[in-house]
């Protein structure tokens, strides 16, 4: 039987002192979270993505654009009464266009966007984080806006199985409320993450569409360089060579490399950006990325394939 988020949160409030009895300052109150509506900053034609990623994104938008015809005209409103929600997960390498895509989805659907970062809604007070999440959903519904959770692995991560502290309890309570809200919310929610492997399988099952974002292939990198090199920029860049040596760079890396090469040229007192200016910046970014892959962190993460996503969905069927 689904959990009622309102009654669940009421129970959390009643048990707050028991769970967090060591809280010494009982006069402080959690600050009410205020969310902002954002106009879509990007459109589909602004996105330069590998062909499959862009095709998957367009198909996802089509689900909402053709909702009336499918549900009303073709009768799915009778057979799939609670399936007209659209929960999309954009996952993959950083800097590959996930946030831009969320804006493009909102633009294509003629909706505003509510950007939610976990750091904005997390509270040191037990029971407040779930209420902040619920407030985000209520605000989106009241304003006919699309919810966008960036770095969503922070909120959709696996639940703690061996709880040893009040923090563990609070994490699981937050996850439970989020699961319930996703079950009951009949609108559009977008998640984005670099680390889908951290998702709890129960969330995987509730997500309708997973779209993978990979580093740009050679053809996509060529389009990105054309996009980010201004037409007014004086240069002697050999673009075909630059495209070949830029493997491993994301779209944001390419944009940064071009901008930094222009500043390097100006710093040197040059009248144009040279091929070597840009080549040097590309190699510098590649070197830093190689160094970064060798850094050990306390969080176990990995880049995953579509096959991994499907296996997690199968696990989620039992949760």
At 117, is the pLDDT very low, low, confident or very high (cuts 50, 70, 90)?
A: confident
Looking at the structure of the chain, the number of domains it has is: 2
More confident residue, 78 or 188: 188
- pLDDT of 174 reads 86
- Give the pLDDT confidence of 166-214 residue by residue, as tens digits: 556 667 888 899 999 999 998 999 999 999 999 999 999 999 999 999 9
More confident residue, 90 or 131: 90
- pLDDT of 20 reads 41
In a domain, 310, yes or no: no
Angle at 188 between CA 195 and CA 74, to 5 degrees: 125
Q: Are 157 and 273 contained in the same domain?
A: no
Residue pair 257/249 in contact by the 8 Å Cβ criterion: yes
In angstroms, the CA 226 to CA 251 distance is 12
In angstroms, the CA 21 to CA 52 distance is 52
Helix (H, G, I), strand (E, B) or coil at 32: coil
Residue pair 136/121 in contact by the 8 Å Cβ criterion: yes
- Whether the CA torsion 274, 277, 279, 285 is positive or negative: it is negative
Residue with tokens 């060529």: 222
User: Inter-axis angle of helices 98-108 and 51-65, to 10 degrees?
Assistant: 30
In a domain, 305, yes or no: no
Q: How many CB atoms sit inside 10 A of residue 147's CB? A: 24
In a domain, 306, yes or no: no
In angstroms, the CA 224 to CA 153 distance is 28
Q: Are 170 and 239 contained in the same domain?
A: no
- pLDDT of 157 reads 87
In angstroms, the CA 83 to CA 16 distance is 35
Q: Are 168 and 222 contained in the same domain?
A: no
List the single range of 70-79, 129-138, 187-196, 231-240 with lowest mean pLDDT.
Answer: 70-79
- pLDDT of 299 reads 37
Q: Are 184 and 245 contained in the same domain?
A: no
Calculate the dihedral angle through the C-alpha atoms of 18, 20, 22, 27, rounding to the nearest 10 degrees.
Answer: -100
Query: Which two structure tokens, joined as six digits, stand for 143?
Result: 């304003």
Among the candidates 179, 214, 249, a domain finishes at: 214
More confident residue, 28 or 265: 265
The range of the structural domain enclosing residue 98 comes to 5-214
Among the candidates 170, 189, 214, a domain finishes at: 214
Q: Are 116 and 222 contained in the same domain?
A: no
In angstroms, the CA 106 to CA 88 distance is 12
In a domain, 319, yes or no: no
Check pLDDT > 50 for residue 93.
yes
Among the candidates 199, 214, 229, a domain finishes at: 214
Read off the pTM.
0.78
Q: Are 202 and 225 contained in the same domain?
A: no
Selection from 74, 105, 78 nearest residue 208 by Cα: 105
In a domain, 178, yes or no: yes
At 4, is the pLDDT very low, low, confident or very high (cuts 50, 70, 90)?
A: low
- Give the pLDDT confidence of 15-35 residue by residue, as tens digits: 444 334 333 344 445 567 889
In angstroms, the CA 162 to CA 125 distance is 21
- pLDDT of 296 reads 45
CATH classification at residue 62: 3.40.50.300
Q: Are 265 and 185 contained in the same domain?
A: no
In a domain, 300, yes or no: no
Residue pair 279/270 in contact by the 8 Å Cβ criterion: no
DSSP 70: I
Check pLDDT > 80 for residue 306.
no
Q: Are 64 and 176 contained in the same domain?
A: yes
Q: Are 37 and 114 contained in the same domain?
A: yes
Helix (H, G, I), strand (E, B) or coil at 122: coil
């Amino acid at each position: 039987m689904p959990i009622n988020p309102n009654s669940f949160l009421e129970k959390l409030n009643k048990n707050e002192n028991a769970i967090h009895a060591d809280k010494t300052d009982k006069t402080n109150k959690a600050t009410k979270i205020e969310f902002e509506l954002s106009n879509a900053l990007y459109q589909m034609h602004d996105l330069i993505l590998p062909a499959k990623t862009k095709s998957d994104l367009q198909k996802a938008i089509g689900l909402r654009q053709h909702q009336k015809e499918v549900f009303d005209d073709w009768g799915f409103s009778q057979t799939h009464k609670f399936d007209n929600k659209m929960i999309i997960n954009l996952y993959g390498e950083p800097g590959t266009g996930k946030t831009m895509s969320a804006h493009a989805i909102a633009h294509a659907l003629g909706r505003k966007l509510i950007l939610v970062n976990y750091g904005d809604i997390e509270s040191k007070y037990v029971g407040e984080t779930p209420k902040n999440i619920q407030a985000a959903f209520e605000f989106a519904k009241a304003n006919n806006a699309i919810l966008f959770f960036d770095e969503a692995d922070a909120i959709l991560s696996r639940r703690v199985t061996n709880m040893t502290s009040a923090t563990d309890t609070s994490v699981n309570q937050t996850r439970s409320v989020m699961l319930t809200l996703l079950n009951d919310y009949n609108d559009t929610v977008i998640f984005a993450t670099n680390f889908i492997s951290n998702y709890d399988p129960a969330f995987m099952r509730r997500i309708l569409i997973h779209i993978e974002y990979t580093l740009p292939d050679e053809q996509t990198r060529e389009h990105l360089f054309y996009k980010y090199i201004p037409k007014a920029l004086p240069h002697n860049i050999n673009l075909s060579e630059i495209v070949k040596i830029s493997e491993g760079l994301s779209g944001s890396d390419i944009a940064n490399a071009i901008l930094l090469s222009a500043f390097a040229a100006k710093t040197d007192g040059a009248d144009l950006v040279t091929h070597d200016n840009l080549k040097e910046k590309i190699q510098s970014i590649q070197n830093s990325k190689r160094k970064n892959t060798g850094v050990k962190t306390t969080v176990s993460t990995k880049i995953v394939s579509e096959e991994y996503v499907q296996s997690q969905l199968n696990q989620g069927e039992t949760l």
